[in-house]
């Protein structure tokens, strides 16, 4: 009997290990890469989808938007902390969120590049006769212009940071990290870029009216993924994403789907193929923005390469 008990326990342990093998990495004591890649965006998206109807039913403008920003911020911070402790078991810095002086410098560089390409898109649209400037500082609603702009910036910044953390910092990184065990490093990262970019485009599907318009979001996803892959952190991609969305709508009046205050009130009259929200003007300038991002990184670092941090895992110290 004494020999049968250990044997039974050993058999149960082996059976249990086989059962959890698809989802649990015993050596690393954490979930496997596919789950680490998708759980942050699935859980946070579900939390936001559940909270939004409640907030909108209970609060009126402008309190509603303020509560939505705070809710999004709580979900974002909670996702990062829980992923660090429970899912990825990695330090916060390995999510690309070191938040040191160099990080903020790169964040500002991304913001300047994004602002510049939106200014270029407006200049081309005006020069081609597709857009005219019809006024200034309009559309703030019940708030005065400055508070309305501040509220929109907070919302845009938090939403863009959520997308970058979940899609680039969690999904791209974990897919690349997991695939590197089976593929060459360049192929693993390439696969991760393609998958995360496809998810990014899919999440924006509610804005499009024709399948071809997915092309714009695929381009944007590749630009943001490229910024992450060559730097290993999220500073450049978050800065670019935040100020691209903010300046396109609020500063240069080029937003279509966003109802925001506008510093420049622009009337667009050009062909939809060129000046629509997913039009060729914006797609081409997004590509140009990606080129400037790579030039910035090359000048800063001296070369362009896949950063080691994209596939690195440093176990969290207990």
- Which pLDDT belongs to residue 285? 96
Within 131-233, strands assigned E span 131-138
Tell me what pLDDT residue 6 has.
63
Segments of 102-184 assigned E as strands: 131-138
> Could you give the count of Cα atoms lying within 13 Å of 148 in the half-sphere of its Cβ?
18
Residue 138 burial by CB count (10 A; 0-12/13-18/19+): exposed, middle or buried? middle
Nearest by Cα to 279 from 234, 220, 238:
220
What is the pLDDT, as a whole number, of residue 106?
97
Predicted local confidence at residue 164, as pLDDT: 97
0.85 surpassed by pTM: yes
Q: Which residues of 299-317 are buried (b: 16+ CB within 10 A; e: fewer)?
A: eeeeeeebbebbbebeebe
pLDDT of the residue at 181: 87
Tell me the domain boundaries of the chain.
100-310
CA angle 122, 126, 128 (to 5 degrees): 115
Look at residue 1 in the predicted model and tell me its pLDDT.
47
- Residue 197's nearest CA partner among 174, 181, 214 is 214
Partner residues linked to 264 by β-bridges = 136
Give every residue of the chain whose pLDDT is below 70, as ranges. Answer: 1-6, 256-258, 318
């Amino acid at each position: 009997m004494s020999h049968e008990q250990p044997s039974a326990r050993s058999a149960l342990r082996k059976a249990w290990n086989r059962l959890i093998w698809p989802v649990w990495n015993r050596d690393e004591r954490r979930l496997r890469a596919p789950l680490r890649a998708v759980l942050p965006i699935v859980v946070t998206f579900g939390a936001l989808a559940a909270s939004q109807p409640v907030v909108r039913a209970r609060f009126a403008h402008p309190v509603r938007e303020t509560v939505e920003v705070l809710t999004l911020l709580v979900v974002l911070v909670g996702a990062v902390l829980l992923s660090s402790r429970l899912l990825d078991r990695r330090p916060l810095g390995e999510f690309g969120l070191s938040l040191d002086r160099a990080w903020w410098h790169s964040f500002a560089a991304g913001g300047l590049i994004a602002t510049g390409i939106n200014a270029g898109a407006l200049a081309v649209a005006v020069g081609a006769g597709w857009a005219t400037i019809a006024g200034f500082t309009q559309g703030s609603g019940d708030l005065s212009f400055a508070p309305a702009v501040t509220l929109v910036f907070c919302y845009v910044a938090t939403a863009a940071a959520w997308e970058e953390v979940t899609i680039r910092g969690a999904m791209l990184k974990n897919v690349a990290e997991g695939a590197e065990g089976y593929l060459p490093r360049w192929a693993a990262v390439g696969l991760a870029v393609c998958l995360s970019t496809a998810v990014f485009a899919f999440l924006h599907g509610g804005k499009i009216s024709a399948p071809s318009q997915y092309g714009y979001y695929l381009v944007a996803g590749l630009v943001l993924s490229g910024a992450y892959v060559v730097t290993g952190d999220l500073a450049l991609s978050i800065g670019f994403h935040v100020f691209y969305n903010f300046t396109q709508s609020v500063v240069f009046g080029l937003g279509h789907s966003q109802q925001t205050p506008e510093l420049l009130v622009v009337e667009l009259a050009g062909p939809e193929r060129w000046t629509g929200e997913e039009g060729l003007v914006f797609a081409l300038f997004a590509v140009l923005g990606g080129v400037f991002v790579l030039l910035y990184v090359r000048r800063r670092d001296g070369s362009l390469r896949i950063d080691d941090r994209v596939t690195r895992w440093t176990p969290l110290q207990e």
